[in-house]
Amino acid sequence: MKKILFLVFVMLSCTCCTTRYSKVNQTITNFFQAVNTDNEKEMLRNYPFTTLMGWVYPDGIKVGDNWELTDIKKTGKDSLAVSVVLSRGSRWGDEEVVPIILYMTKASDPIEISTLEFEASESEPGVVYTHMIPVATIPPGQYIIYDSEHLFSFDVKLGQYAENIGCLTPVDSTDVAILTKLEYAKKILEKEVERINSEIKSGFVIISETATKEYYSVSGRGTCKNKSGHVVVSPRYKVSYFDRDDNLIETEEGRIASYLESGASKKFSWTTLFTKSELSELYTYRVELEFDESANYEAILNGSYTGTEYKTFLEKYNL
C-alpha cells in the first residue's frame, strides 16, 4: 500500500512539474514572439514591466527564435528563477549568445494591464493629454515574468552617469532595478541640463551694441559677455529687423566663437543686405544671443562626481 501511495505521489509530482514547465515555456515563447513582432499588448501580457520597453534593443535588435530553457529553480511558493540561453543578433550583424535569468510567478487572480496613451487636444494646439488605457488581462494560473537579468540593453553613457552620481549601485542587479534607477538618472540629467541652460541664458548677455543704416544695408557691432559660471559652447548672434507694425522683415545670424569661458567677453559684427523697399520699411531691430544647449548634456554626462550627489539631487528636484 505504501509503495502504491509513493508511486501515486511521484506521478502527481511529475505531472505538476510537466505542467509548470509547459506554462513557463509558453510564457517565454509568447514574450519573445511579441518582442520580434513589436506586439506591445502581448509583451505586457507576459512581462508587465515592459512599459519601459523603449530601453530594450534600442537599435532594432531582435531576440531571434533561438533560445533554450536550461534550468528552473523554485524561489517561493509560486515563484521561479528560470535560466535561458538566448541567441540574438548584435548591432554589428553577427550573433551573440546571452545567458539570462527570468524571474517568474503564477498569477493567483486576474491582473489588468494598462499602458500610457497620449492624445493631442483638438481645441488647444500644442497641448497633449495622457491617460491609462487597459490593454490586456492576465488570467489566473498563467506564469508571468516580473523581473529579469541580462535581458535588457542599456544606454551605456547614462548608466555610467548613474553610477558616477551614486544612483546605480551593485545592489541594483536585476533589469527592473537597473531600469528604475536609470529612469531617475535620466530625470536628474534633464533637470541639470535645464538648470545650466537657464543660468547661461540669464548670464550670457550683450553689454554693448550699435548699428548703422547704409545705402542698401545695415552694419552693426556688439560685445557679449559670459557672466554665468559655465562655458558657453558655440555662442551665436541673431539680428531680427521689424517694421513699424512689428512685422519681421529680415534676420541675420552668425557665429561669435567656438566657446566662451565664464567671465570672458567677445566682440562680433554683422552686415545685412536689403532691397530698397525693405529698407524703407525698416523701423527697428533686435539682437539676441544663442548657444548650443545640447552641449551641456554631454558635459554633465561626462562630468566629475563624488558618488554622493544622488541623494542631493532627489531632494533638490523633489523626485
Q: What is the pLDDT of residues 61-108, one digit of tens each?
A: 456 567 889 999 998 888 899 999 987 666 666 777 889 999 999 988
Identify the band that residue 115 occupies on the pLDDT scale cut at 50, 70 and 90: low
The answer to whether the CB of 31 falls within 8 A of the CB of 148 is no
**Other CB atoms within 10 Å distance of the CB of residue 6:** 10
What are the C-alpha distances in Å from 199 to residues 91, 262, 293? 39, 12, 11
Q: What is the pLDDT of residue 53?
A: 47
123-139 mean pLDDT = 65
3-state secondary structure of 43: helix
Element (H, E) at 198: helix 175-203
178-191 mean pLDDT = 92
> Is residue 261 scored above 90 in pLDDT?
yes
Distance CA 110, CA 141 (A): 9
Pairing between strand 259-260 and 232-233?
A: antiparallel
Buried b vs exposed e over 147-177: b needs ≥16 C-beta within 10 Å? bbbebbbbeeebbebbbbbbbbeeebebbbe
Q: Which three cell numbers stand for residue 90?
A: 548584435
Distance CA 228, CA 134 (A): 48
Q: What is the pLDDT of residue 51?
A: 58
What are the C-alpha distances in Å from 235 to residues 36, 197, 223? 45, 13, 12
Q: What is the pLDDT of residue 187?
A: 93
Element (H, E) at 3: helix 2-36
What residues does 285 pair with on adjacent strands?
241
Element (H, E) at 208: strand 204-213
Distance CA 181, CA 313 (A): 13
What does the mean pLDDT of the chain come to? 83
> Is residue 307 scored above 50 in pLDDT?
yes
Tell me which residue of 135, 106, 87 sits closest to 19, measured CA to CA.
Answer: 106
Lowest mean pLDDT among 31-40, 248-257, 276-285: 31-40
What residues does 311 pair with on adjacent strands?
none
What residues does 287 pair with on adjacent strands?
239
The answer to whether the CB of 266 falls within 8 A of the CB of 260 is yes
138-156 mean pLDDT = 86
